[in-house]
Amino acid sequence: MPLTDSLRDDILAAVPSLRAFAISLSGNADRADDLVQETLLRALANIDSFQPGSNLPAWLFTILRNLFRSDYRKRRREVEDAEGNYAKTLKTQPSQNAHLEFEEFRGALEKLPQDQREALILVGASGFSYEDAASICGCAVGTIKSRVNRARSKLAALLYVDGAEDFGPDETVRAVIGGSGG
C-alpha cells in the first residue's frame, strides 16, 4: 500500500519498541539505532509489499530481525565486545542495588542462545503472541514456545538457582560462618 499519513504515524509509533528490541538483540545502543534506521529505510522502500490491515509492528520486527541476523554473522566479535554499552542508553539510572541486579540480568540474557533470547524478548517484553513471534522468526508456534521455556529455565538457572545463596539473609549467615573459619 502507499505511504499514507496514518501509516507513517504507525511506523513512527513502532520506533520505540523497535529500538528496545534492537538493543536487546545486539546489546549495543549505537548498533541498535543503526539497525532501526536500516529497518525503516527498508520498510519504506518496500512499503508496497505491506498488506493493509496486517500487523505492522510484526512486519517491522521481521525486517529488523532479518537485518540483525545477516549482520550478526559479520559482526559477531564486535557485538560481543560491546558489553556495558547498554547502560549508557538509560536516561535514568536505577538505584545502585537495582542497577547491579539489572546488569546481572542483562549479562544472563546475553548468555542465552540467540534463538532463545529473541523468542523470550518478543513474547515476554514486546508482548507479541506466540503466533506473531513465530511468524517474525519464521518458525513453528511450538518451536517458539519451547524456545521461550528453555530461555526462562536457563535464565533462572543462571540467576536464581546457582546464585540461590545470594538471596536473603543466608548470605550474611554464610559470611559469618565462613569467616569463623572451618
Partner 1 sequence: MKDLKSQASRSTTPGKGGLTPEIQSRIGHQLRAMYDDVVRQGVPDRFAELIKKLDAPGGGSQSENGAGGSNDNNGRD
* Residue ranges that bind partner 1, judged by CB under 8 A: 3, 8, 11-12, 15-17, 19-21, 23-24, 30, 33-34, 36-38, 40-41, 44-45, 88-92, 101-102, 105-106, 109, 120-121, 124-126, 149, 152-153, 155-156, 159-161, 164-165, 167-168, 170, 173-174, 177, 182
Smallest separation (angstroms) from partner 1 to the CB of 155: 5
Smallest separation (angstroms) from partner 1 to the CB of 20: 4
Smallest separation (angstroms) from partner 1 to the CB of 1: 14
Contact 116, 151 (CB under 8 A): yes
Question: Is the Cβ of residue 111 or residue 174 nearer to partner 1 in the bound state?
Answer: 174
Question: Is the Cβ of residue 20 or residue 141 nearer to partner 1 in the bound state?
Answer: 20
Smallest separation (angstroms) from partner 1 to the CB of 123: 10
